[in-house]
Amino acid sequence: HAKGDPTGCLKAYGEAEKIMAGLATQFPDDARYRRELATIDGWLGNAYGHHDYFNVENPSAAAEYFRRAYRLVEQLSATDPKNAQARLDLIIHGGKLAEVLAAMNAREDAWRYLKACSPALGKDLEPNSYYFRVKSSCLQARWYVEYTTGRYAAALRTLDELDNFNQASSSNPADLGLRETNITSQMRRGVIYTA
Protein backbone atom coordinates (compact mmCIF):
# COMPACT_ATOMS: atom_id res chain seq x y z
CA HIS A 1 0.00 0.00 0.00
CA ALA A 2 2.80 2.41 0.88
CA LYS A 3 4.26 1.78 -2.58
CA GLY A 4 1.04 2.99 -4.20
CA ASP A 5 -0.17 -0.43 -5.33
CA PRO A 6 -3.73 -0.69 -4.01
CA THR A 7 -4.51 -3.72 -6.19
CA GLY A 8 -1.54 -5.65 -4.79
CA CYS A 9 -2.36 -4.70 -1.24
CA LEU A 10 -6.01 -5.71 -1.72
CA LYS A 11 -4.79 -9.19 -2.61
CA ALA A 12 -2.53 -9.33 0.46
CA TYR A 13 -5.19 -7.86 2.77
CA GLY A 14 -7.73 -10.30 1.33
CA GLU A 15 -5.47 -13.23 2.26
CA ALA A 16 -4.93 -11.78 5.73
CA GLU A 17 -8.69 -11.37 6.12
CA LYS A 18 -9.31 -15.04 5.26
CA ILE A 19 -6.73 -16.18 7.83
CA MET A 20 -8.04 -13.89 10.56
CA ALA A 21 -11.69 -14.70 9.85
CA GLY A 22 -10.82 -18.37 10.24
CA LEU A 23 -9.13 -17.71 13.58
CA ALA A 24 -12.05 -15.57 14.77
CA THR A 25 -14.45 -18.39 13.89
CA GLN A 26 -12.26 -21.07 15.45
CA PHE A 27 -11.78 -19.07 18.67
CA PRO A 28 -14.97 -17.01 19.10
CA ASP A 29 -14.21 -16.11 22.72
CA ASP A 30 -10.87 -14.52 21.87
CA ALA A 31 -11.62 -10.82 21.25
CA ARG A 32 -8.12 -10.25 19.86
CA TYR A 33 -8.92 -12.10 16.63
CA ARG A 34 -12.13 -10.14 16.07
CA ARG A 35 -10.29 -6.86 16.70
CA GLU A 36 -7.56 -7.85 14.23
CA LEU A 37 -10.23 -8.80 11.70
CA ALA A 38 -11.81 -5.36 12.15
CA THR A 39 -8.40 -3.74 11.62
CA ILE A 40 -7.87 -5.70 8.39
CA ASP A 41 -11.38 -4.77 7.21
CA GLY A 42 -10.45 -1.13 7.85
CA TRP A 43 -7.32 -1.52 5.74
CA LEU A 44 -9.42 -3.09 2.98
CA GLY A 45 -11.77 -0.10 3.22
CA ASN A 46 -8.83 2.27 2.81
CA ALA A 47 -7.54 0.44 -0.27
CA TYR A 48 -10.96 0.14 -1.87
CA GLY A 49 -11.92 3.79 -1.65
CA HIS A 50 -10.87 6.05 1.23
CA HIS A 51 -9.80 9.44 -0.14
CA ASP A 52 -6.66 9.71 2.04
CA TYR A 53 -5.11 6.50 0.65
CA PHE A 54 -4.11 5.06 -2.70
CA ASN A 55 -7.25 3.20 -3.66
CA VAL A 56 -9.03 1.44 -6.51
CA GLU A 57 -11.93 3.93 -6.40
CA ASN A 58 -14.63 1.53 -5.29
CA PRO A 59 -16.39 3.47 -2.51
CA SER A 60 -19.22 0.93 -2.24
CA ALA A 61 -16.76 -1.84 -1.38
CA ALA A 62 -14.91 0.54 0.96
CA ALA A 63 -18.14 1.36 2.78
CA GLU A 64 -18.95 -2.34 3.17
CA TYR A 65 -15.56 -3.10 4.71
CA PHE A 66 -15.78 -0.11 7.05
CA ARG A 67 -19.29 -1.28 8.05
CA ARG A 68 -17.92 -4.75 8.81
CA ALA A 69 -15.14 -3.26 10.91
CA TYR A 70 -17.59 -0.98 12.70
CA ARG A 71 -19.98 -3.84 13.50
CA LEU A 72 -17.15 -6.00 14.86
CA VAL A 73 -15.83 -3.33 17.22
CA GLU A 74 -19.38 -2.34 18.16
CA GLN A 75 -19.91 -5.93 19.31
CA LEU A 76 -16.60 -5.92 21.18
CA SER A 77 -17.50 -2.66 22.88
CA ALA A 78 -20.97 -3.93 23.85
CA THR A 79 -19.55 -7.20 25.18
CA ASP A 80 -16.90 -5.45 27.25
CA PRO A 81 -17.89 -1.81 28.00
CA LYS A 82 -14.58 -1.28 29.84
CA ASN A 83 -12.60 -2.14 26.71
CA ALA A 84 -11.10 1.27 25.87
CA GLN A 85 -9.44 -0.06 22.70
CA ALA A 86 -12.80 -1.22 21.32
CA ARG A 87 -14.29 2.24 21.98
CA LEU A 88 -11.36 3.91 20.21
CA ASP A 89 -11.64 1.51 17.27
CA LEU A 90 -15.37 2.31 17.08
CA ILE A 91 -14.53 6.01 16.83
CA ILE A 92 -11.92 5.47 14.10
CA HIS A 93 -14.03 3.13 11.95
CA GLY A 94 -17.12 5.32 12.42
CA GLY A 95 -15.21 8.36 11.18
CA LYS A 96 -13.81 6.56 8.13
CA LEU A 97 -17.20 5.10 7.26
CA ALA A 98 -18.73 8.58 7.56
CA GLU A 99 -16.17 9.97 5.09
CA VAL A 100 -16.80 7.26 2.50
CA LEU A 101 -20.57 7.57 2.86
CA ALA A 102 -20.36 11.36 2.46
CA ALA A 103 -18.33 10.90 -0.73
CA MET A 104 -21.08 8.54 -1.96
CA ASN A 105 -23.70 11.23 -1.21
CA ALA A 106 -25.25 9.12 1.59
CA ARG A 107 -25.45 12.21 3.79
CA GLU A 108 -27.76 11.04 6.56
CA ASP A 109 -25.76 7.87 7.09
CA ALA A 110 -22.52 9.85 7.02
CA TRP A 111 -23.72 12.16 9.80
CA ARG A 112 -25.00 9.20 11.81
CA TYR A 113 -21.63 7.42 11.74
CA LEU A 114 -19.74 10.65 12.35
CA LYS A 115 -21.52 10.79 15.72
CA ALA A 116 -19.26 7.89 16.77
CA CYS A 117 -16.53 10.54 16.98
CA SER A 118 -18.42 12.64 19.53
CA PRO A 119 -16.70 11.14 22.61
CA ALA A 120 -13.26 11.98 21.20
CA LEU A 121 -14.16 15.48 20.03
CA GLY A 122 -15.36 16.62 23.42
CA LYS A 123 -12.19 15.76 25.35
CA ASP A 124 -9.11 17.76 26.20
CA LEU A 125 -6.28 15.31 25.64
CA GLU A 126 -2.60 15.11 26.37
CA PRO A 127 -0.44 15.79 23.30
CA ASN A 128 1.25 12.78 21.68
CA SER A 129 -1.11 10.26 23.24
CA TYR A 130 -3.02 7.71 21.19
CA TYR A 131 -6.24 9.45 22.18
CA PHE A 132 -4.82 12.68 20.81
CA ARG A 133 -4.32 11.07 17.39
CA VAL A 134 -7.85 9.67 17.52
CA LYS A 135 -9.26 13.15 18.14
CA SER A 136 -7.23 14.51 15.23
CA SER A 137 -8.61 11.71 13.04
CA CYS A 138 -12.16 12.63 14.08
CA LEU A 139 -11.62 16.29 13.29
CA GLN A 140 -10.37 15.26 9.85
CA ALA A 141 -13.46 13.10 9.33
CA ARG A 142 -15.72 15.95 10.43
CA TRP A 143 -14.19 18.51 8.05
CA TYR A 144 -14.48 16.04 5.18
CA VAL A 145 -18.14 15.23 5.87
CA GLU A 146 -18.92 18.94 6.27
CA TYR A 147 -17.10 19.78 3.03
CA THR A 148 -18.63 16.90 1.05
CA THR A 149 -22.15 17.74 2.23
CA GLY A 150 -21.78 21.41 1.26
CA ARG A 151 -21.31 22.89 4.75
CA TYR A 152 -18.31 24.94 3.69
CA ALA A 153 -18.28 27.52 6.51
CA ALA A 154 -18.46 24.71 9.10
CA ALA A 155 -15.68 22.84 7.27
CA LEU A 156 -13.43 25.93 7.48
CA ARG A 157 -14.12 26.25 11.22
CA THR A 158 -13.27 22.57 11.70
CA LEU A 159 -10.01 23.05 9.79
CA ASP A 160 -9.17 25.96 12.12
CA GLU A 161 -9.90 23.73 15.10
CA LEU A 162 -7.78 20.95 13.59
CA ASP A 163 -4.89 23.34 12.94
CA ASN A 164 -4.97 24.63 16.51
CA PHE A 165 -5.21 21.11 17.84
CA ASN A 166 -2.28 19.84 15.75
CA GLN A 167 -0.20 22.93 16.63
CA ALA A 168 -0.66 22.10 20.32
CA SER A 169 0.64 18.57 19.71
CA SER A 170 4.12 19.67 18.67
CA SER A 171 6.62 21.67 20.67
CA ASN A 172 9.04 21.64 17.72
CA PRO A 173 8.26 24.18 14.96
CA ALA A 174 10.60 22.27 12.61
CA ASP A 175 8.53 19.08 13.03
CA LEU A 176 8.12 17.73 9.48
CA GLY A 177 4.86 15.98 10.36
CA LEU A 178 3.39 19.27 11.58
CA ARG A 179 4.62 21.07 8.46
CA GLU A 180 3.02 18.42 6.25
CA THR A 181 -0.22 18.74 8.23
CA ASN A 182 -0.17 22.52 7.74
CA ILE A 183 0.37 22.15 3.98
CA THR A 184 -2.47 19.62 3.76
CA SER A 185 -4.71 21.97 5.72
CA GLN A 186 -4.01 24.83 3.30
CA MET A 187 -4.77 22.55 0.34
CA ARG A 188 -8.07 21.59 1.99
CA ARG A 189 -8.95 25.25 2.41
CA GLY A 190 -8.28 25.78 -1.27
CA VAL A 191 -10.63 22.91 -2.12
CA ILE A 192 -13.34 24.43 0.08
CA TYR A 193 -12.96 27.90 -1.42
CA THR A 194 -13.02 26.43 -4.92
CA ALA A 195 -16.27 24.62 -4.12
Residue 101 predicted with pLDDT over 90? yes
pTM: 0.86
Q: What is the pLDDT of residues 121-178, one digit of tens each?
A: 765 555 556 777 788 888 899 999 999 999 999 999 999 988 887 777 666 666 777 7
Q: What is the pLDDT of residues 49-100, one digit of tens each?
A: 999 888 999 999 999 999 999 999 999 999 988 888 888 888 899 999 999 9
Q: What is the DSSP string of the chain?
A: -TTS-HHHHHHHHHHHHHHHHHHHHH-TT-HHHHHHHHHHHHHHHHHHH-TTS---S-HHHHHHHHHHHHHHHHHHHHH-TT-HHHHHHHHHHHHHHHHHHHHTT-HHHHHHHHGGGHHHHT----TTSHHHHHHHHHHHHHHHHHHHTT-HHHHHHHHHHHHHHHHHT-S-TT-HHHHHHHHHHHHHHHHHHH-
Higher pLDDT, 179 or 10: 10
